[in-house]
Structure formats: structure tokens, C-alpha cells
Amino acid sequence: MLSHAFDTDSDLTRLREAAPDLATRFEELRDALDVTTGDTRPRGGELLDEAVGRPRVPEAARAELRRRLAAEWQELTGRIRSEHPELGLLRPVREWDERDVRATAARGPVVLVNVSPHGSDALIVTERAIDSVPLPELVPQKVASRRRSLDDALALIETPGTSRKQSLGAQQAVRETLDWLWHGATGPVLDHLGIRSVPAGPWPRLWWSPGGSLRTLPLHAAAPADGTPGALDRVVSSYTPTLRALHHGRQRVARPADRPADDGVLVVAVPDAAGTPPLPGARREAEHLSRSLPGATLLVGASATRSAVVSALPRHACVHFACHGLGDPRRPSDSLLVLHDHGEHPLTVGDLSRLRLPSVRLAYLSACDTLRTSPELADEAVHLVSALQMAGFPHVIGSLWHVDDTIGADVAGDVYGTLHTGNGSLDVSRTAHALHEAVRTLRAAYPATPSLWACQVHVGP
């Protein structure tokens, strides 16, 4: 679904230029298919299809409509491919040749980490070659065990009433996970690439694309326990769900927006949402951003409703969410951002992924667990960050686990301070570097508390 959404978006831009009428019908069918494949369960007692604003039809009728639309979709795409073969409409990834793959590493290596009972490895893509580095320490059982240990440690840290001794022990477990990741995955990869010390000049860049349970482990923050330089001291890391996602993000950044958006930032803050712990720092975070980012639009508290947010998103290039994020391990597409009316009108992963926002640039999720999903569905990469990428945001900042309220606000302030150009706009091309600097500053302030600084990540080009 992720690849299909990216391909459709990229190909549609070229199709509009070559055949506007076909592009219009292409969009109509795409949107109709999005609606008919959405969640059909009633929410809050209402039988409304929010995407089209009319009563939902019975599932049998929806299924028949889906079949008819799918057949028309296949007919239309076949016609476009026949009449406009130069467009390569929805060209599948299997048709990429090695040059296409290596082209994704033009700005830095892309590392696909595979965990398998038949032998784990890192597939390292550079401009010059595609190499495989064996990672024998990444035995699936060990990876699963380390993930459970990290989850247990984080849960203990976040539990009210945890003693100082227990908290220190939990932080030690987090450090042990970072050491294990360093020796088992990150260290061998950086050594193979010759990235062995703190850079004297510009920071090198690298993109991680881990599979399975590794998706929720902090490869970017891995470090040896003996205090020698780790990943944060050697390279600026980003993540990407797939090679195709990275390719798409760069295309989107490079081409002009399909329609103009304001340069300002939409700031959404929900300090007190029903059924969730209060976030006193969220309001302070919003007020600070409104002062430091002239022209920012604020939706705070009761004004931060689903309809208000969805209406405002297309009019802003950047959005900042300071709120809770709730994951649904059994149905990841129902994971949601906790807005003021989340009980009646939730803004879910499924809802976000169906938005079409061609001119947006950066989404900052100062929220918890925005990349977390269940172990069984880890390979599917269904979470709030990927949903925002599908909606159109090339750059997304998210978190692997709970973000401390105050710490999250401090990091956000540092990031926007670095991105601010001085003329009122943000240079989002520096997002990865800005987050890297902010995390290193946070680590220097709290070296013995890795749970505070190892969780926030950049996803995108």
C-alpha cells in the first residue's frame, strides 16, 4: 500500500502534463477506491462515511462497488500504459535495475537490515555498489528477546512510583540494548563503510531501513558501552520504510508543489484530552513555537478537533503535533493522534493515509510511540509516521517510545531554532541535521538517561 500510494502520487504529476483528462479520471477512481476500502465499522454510534459525508452503504454493496471500481481502475491503467508508455505508470519495483537502486544512495548509503533464521545481514546500497555484510549476532530469538527487555525497561521507567534504584536499573537495560545494537548491527555497518570516527568536516549521512522487530529499535543511537564514539558521534541517521519511499520523498522535495501552501506552521496542541494523562508542557510548547515562528497557526485545547486539523493541514507546509499518540497493536490502522474530540471523531492512521496533501513538507510529531506497532505486524510499517508520509509529508519526525513532556518541548525548540532561516521560513532540508544536533545536546545533558534521547528519529530524504 505504501509503495502504491507513492507511485500513484509520482506518476500522477507526469500524467497531468501528458493527458489531463485521463489524470482527472485516474484521481476520481483512486479516491473512490480509497473510500470503499476504508474502515466500515461505525464510530461513536454514527453510520457516516466521513470521507464522503453520506450514510454508509451495506458491506455487500460496498464489496460489489469495490469490484466494479477495481475493474475500471485496471482498464484505465492499461489504457494509460498503452497510450503513454513513456510515463512508466505504476512501474513495479521488480522492474528497477541496479542503477535505479544505487541512485537512491546518491546522498549517502542506504542500509537494509534483514533478520532471518537463515542468516541475518545488512544490504548496503551505495552509488558504486550493493554489498552484503553478515550480521551473525542478529539471531531472530535474540532480537525478540532484546526488544522485550527494552520494552520492559521503558515500561518501568514510565510507571509512576518507580524507585530511583529501579529506574537506574532500567536505564542500564536501555544502555545494554544500545551496546548490543552497536556490536550486532550498527558498528559492523559503519566499519564496512569506513565511518570510524567523529567527522572533521561535514557530517556523513546514512539511511536505515530495518526489517521486522528491528524497526522499533534505535539503530541510530547504538553505542559501545565503553564510551567510545557510537552512531550519534559518527553519522547523521535517517530512516525509510523502503527504498521506494526514499526515492519518492526526494522526488517530492525536488519538484514544485502541485498547489501553493502557506509557509507557516500549523501547531496542534492538546494538553488535556479525555481519558489520557495531562500534558502541561504541550501548551507551553505551543506558546513557545508561536513566539519563535511568526505566522504560526495555533489549534490548542478545545479548538484542536479532527475537522479543524484536517481542514487546516492543506493550507500549511509544516505541522507540529504536541499531544498523545495511541497505538493499536491489533489494528495498527486504528492508531491515532489524541485530539480534543478523539473519542467521537478519532484521527487515525487510516484517516491520515487517505489525505492528499501535495504541497506539505514537514510533520513533527512531539507525541509518544508514533513508530510503534505490534511485533507480528512490524514488517508492515503501519504507524502514524508512515501514514503522514502517505499523506504527502516527505520529512517526518517521530518517536520510537514515550517522549518526556518537557524534554520533547526542549528538543522541538532546538530543532526549529536550527531550521529557522531568519526571514520567517524554515529550511526543512536540514531536518535530519537539526534533530541530530538537538539529540546530541540532550545526550550531553543527560548522559546516564538514554531513554530520553534515543527515541526521536527522522524519517525521509
Least confident range from 71-85, 150-164, 252-266: namely 252-266
User: Quick one: pLDDT at residue 43?
Assistant: 36
Burial class of residue 224, CB neighbours in 10 A (0-12, 13-18, 19+): middle
Residue 132: phi and psi, rounded to 5, are -115, 130
pLDDT of 194 higher than 70: yes
Phi, psi dihedrals of residue 145, rounded to the nearest 5°? -65, -40
Check whether 21 has a pLDDT greater than 80. Answer: yes
User: What mean pLDDT is predicted for residues 26-43?
Assistant: 63
pLDDT above 90 covers a percentage of the chain that reads: 44
Report domain extents, the chain.
2-95, 98-239, 258-459
Give CA–CA dist 414/397, Å, rounded. Answer: 13
Q: What is the dihedral of CA 156, 159, 162, 165, to 10 degrees?
A: 30
| Percent of the chain scoring above 70 in pLDDT | 83
> Does position 197 have pLDDT exceeding 80, yes or no?
yes
Mean pLDDT over 159-179 rounds to 94
Q: How confident is the model at residue 3 (pLDDT cuts 50, 70, 90)?
A: low
Residues near 270 by Cβ (< 8 Å), separated by ≥ 6?
279, 282, 300, 301, 304, 322, 323, 324, 338, 339, 340
Contact status, residue 199 vs residue 234, Cβ threshold 8 Å: yes
Q: Where are the beta strands (DSSP E) in 72-153?
A: 110-114, 121-125, 130-134
Confidence check: pLDDT of 124 > 50: yes
Residue 256 per-residue DSSP state:
P
54 pLDDT exceeds 60? no
Once rounded to an integer, what is the mean pLDDT over residues 387-410? 88
> By mean pLDDT, which of 8-22, 50-64, 164-178, 195-209 is the weakest?
50-64
Quick one: CA dihedral 389, 395, 399, 405, positive or negative?
negative
Q: What is the 3-state secondary structure (H, E, C) of 179-247?
A: HHHHHHHHHHHHHHCCCCCCCCCCCCEEEEEECHHHHHCCHHHCCCCCCCCCHHHCCEEEECCCHHHHH
Q: How confident is the model at residue 41 (pLDDT cuts 50, 70, 90)?
A: very low
Distance CA 438, CA 397 (A): 12
**Highest mean pLDDT: which of 12-16, 43-47, 387-391?**
387-391
> 269, 430 in Cβ contact below 8 A?
no
Q: Report whether pLDDT(276) > 50.
A: yes
Residue 210 pLDDT = 93
- pLDDT band of residue 56 (cuts 50, 70, 90) is low
Which residues are 364's β-sheet partners? 320, 397
Q: CB within 8 A of 133, min separation 6: which ones?
A: 121, 122, 124, 188, 189, 192
**Residue 47: its pLDDT value, please?**
32
pLDDT in the model for residue 64: 84
- Could you tell me the pTM of the whole model? 0.80
Own/partner pairs for 120-125, CB < 8 Å, 24+ apart?
A: 122/185, 122/188, 122/189, 122/192, 124/189, 124/192, 124/193, 125/101, 125/243
Q: How confident is the model at residue 405 (pLDDT cuts 50, 70, 90)?
A: confident
End-to-end Cα, the chain, rounded Å:
20
pLDDT in tens, 76-120: 888 888 888 877 666 655 556 778 788 888 899 999 999 999 999
Closest CA to 69 of 44, 34, 110: 34
pLDDT at 11: 65
Which three three-digit cell numbers place residue 145?
A: 528477546
pLDDT at 84: 85
Average pLDDT estimate for 212-220: 89
Average pLDDT over residues 7-25: 75
At residue 257, does pLDDT exceed 80? Answer: no
Confidence grade of residue 40 (pLDDT, cut at 50, 70, 90): very low
Please report the pLDDT score of residue 39 as a whole number. Answer: 44
Query: Is 98-239's fold the same as 258-459's?
Result: no
Give the whole-angstrom CA distance, residue 57 versus residue 60: 8
Highest mean pLDDT (candidates 92-106, 163-177, 238-252, 316-330): 163-177
362-366 and 395-399: which strand pairing? parallel
The set of residues, in sequence order, having a beta carbon less than 8 Å from that of 109 and lying 6+ positions away, is 124, 125, 126, 193, 206, 207
Choosing among 3.30.70.370, 3.40.50.10070, 3.40.50.620, 3.40.50.1460, the CATH entry for 258-459 is 3.40.50.1460
- What is the gyration radius of the CA atoms in the chain, in angstroms? 22
Q: What is the pLDDT of residues 336-362, one digit of tens each?
A: 899 999 989 999 888 888 888 888 999
287-308 confidence digits (pLDDT tens): 888 888 878 899 999 999 999 9
Domain 98-239 has CATH 1.10.150: no
Average pLDDT for 200-229: 92
pLDDT score, position 93: 52
